[in-house]
Amino acid sequence: MASHPPESPEPSPLDSLWVRTAAPAVPSALVGYPDGPDLTGPEATRPTLPPPPAPRPAAAVATVAARVVAPAPPVPSAAPAPPATASPWVPGTAPANGQTRPAPPATASPWVPGTAPVNGQTRPAPPATASPWVPGTAPANGHAAPAPPTTAAPRVPATALAGDVLTVAPSTRPAPRRAVPVEPPPRPRGRWLLEWVMVLLVAVGVAFGVRTFVVQTFFIPSASMEPTLMIGDRILVDKLSYHLHAVHRGDIVVFATPPNENAGPNVKDLVKRVIGLPGDRISSQGGRVWIDGKPLSEPWLPPGTITTGIEPQTVPPGKLFVMGDNRSNSQDSRFFGPIPRSLIVGRVVIRIWPLSALHIF
């Protein structure tokens, strides 16, 4: 058994007040052990209580009592504290002490189109319309250029790769329809023959008209125009030009054989060069031709050509004096006189044969 502590004087009321405020509370399980737990039995595991405090001196107790009984000195007035400012409230969190959640904005009742707005209702502003944009100009404020039309990518047939060979899948587009040629019905044989006859008649008529009124070919049978035209040459004669203008000096002309000239039974036309025109005074002197008292320049003759046998005369109106370029071997106006203009067939314009001697006059 444990020994008892020494006896202490009877405590005062102040000591009990001090014990109630300063001493720790004793668990109820230990109330029956005023002298402390028995450490030899099963209670050895119970907690040990602290020893009671020593009694205070009488002077200390009097001081504490004076402090308790004496009134407290007046507290000087202080300046009012500034109002507390609440910390801002973070949306999405619960409000803490001093934080206030702002009131939600007032929402007006919706306005029904077609009715007059009432209290709290607001009519929405009409949508802003932009002025039209003129193509070819830069868009201004409020203008919006229309988006360019989208062009679809060209359709490409589906393809599949088989090894190293590219295989094109058949297209689902229908193949274009090809026009089937329709053979015309066979024409009757009589109609075909008639068409050919008509073509031949038209060709002959055109050739005859051209030969009679436009152009005609002639064959040179003699040497009277050498060296300008040789025997065997073929010439093309223009029959239309002298209906449009007069005959010029130096022209090579084809004319019908004069009545007083005997050129042979097969010769119907002659070819000569025009030397004298109507009204010219023509003669030959010193191996040259003289016209109106002046020698005639004849660049178409070879150098050294001598002209003789022209009796001085005046060419009558409506007639022409003609001679061949081969002055020493030509039957011309020196023998049968000036020819009437009406006998002229046309003017020689080109030698067409031989091709090696092709020449335009």
Cite the active site residues.
224, 272
**Residue 234, strand partner residues:** 219, 353
Q: Which residues contact 33 (CB under 8 A, 6 or more apart)?
A: 43
Q: Judge contact between 215 and 239, C-beta under 8 A.
A: yes
Cα–Cα distance measured from residue 58 to residue 75, given in angstroms and rounded to the nearest whole number: 31
Q: Is 83 contained in some domain?
A: no
Q: Is 307 contained in some domain?
A: yes
Q: Is 280 contained in some domain?
A: yes
Bond before 354 cis per omega within 30 degrees: yes
Q: Is 6 contained in some domain?
A: no
Going by C-alpha positions, the residue among 342, 358, 359, 345 that lies closest to residue 237 is 345
Q: Which residues of the chain have pLDDT under 70?
A: 1-89, 95-96, 98-109, 111, 118-120, 122-136, 138-172, 174-175, 187
Cα–Cα distance measured from residue 288 to residue 294, given in angstroms and rounded to the nearest whole number: 10
pTM of the model: 0.46
3-state secondary structure the chain: CCCCCCCCCCCCHHHHHHHHHHCCCCCHHHCCCCCCCCCCCHHHHCCCCCCCCCCCCHHHHHHHHHHHHCCCCCCCCCCCCCCCCCCCCCCCCCCCCCCCCCCCCCCCCCCCCCCCCCCCCCCCCCCCCCCCCCCCCCCCCCCCCCCCCCCCCCCCCCEEEECCEEEECCCCCCCCCCCCCCCCCCCCHHHHHHHHHHHHHHHHHHHHHHHHHCEEEEECCCCCCCCCCCCCCEEEEECCHHHCCCCCCCCEEEEECCCCCCCCCCCCEEEEEEEECCCCEEEEECCEEEECCEECCCCCCCCCCCCCCCCCEECCCCEEEEECCCCCCCCCHHHHCCEEHHHEEEEEEEEEECHHHCEEC
Residue 2 structure tokens: 């444990």
Residue 130 structure tokens: 């932009």
Going by C-alpha positions, the residue among 192, 220, 217 that lies closest to residue 349 is 217
The residue to which tokens 């060069």 are assigned: 273
Q: Is 281 contained in some domain?
A: yes
Q: Is 241 contained in some domain?
A: yes
Q: Judge contact between 203 and 226, C-beta under 8 A.
A: no
φ, ψ at 204 (rounded to 5°): -65, -40
Per-residue pLDDT, 129: 63
Cα–Cα distance measured from residue 261 to residue 222, given in angstroms and rounded to the nearest whole number: 15
Per-residue pLDDT, 207: 82
Per-residue pLDDT, 213: 77
Say how many domains are in the chain: 1
Q: Is 319 contained in some domain?
A: yes
Per-residue pLDDT, 130: 57
Per-residue pLDDT, 227: 93
Residue 10 structure tokens: 């009877």
Q: Is 111 contained in some domain?
A: no
The residue to which tokens 């009134």 are assigned: 71
CATH number at residue 229: 2.10.109.10
Where in the sequence is the domain holding 353, given as residue range(s)?
Answer: 218-360
Per-residue pLDDT, 40: 45
In degrees, rounded to 5, the angle at the alpha carbon of residue 169 between the alpha carbons of residues 166 and 175 is 130
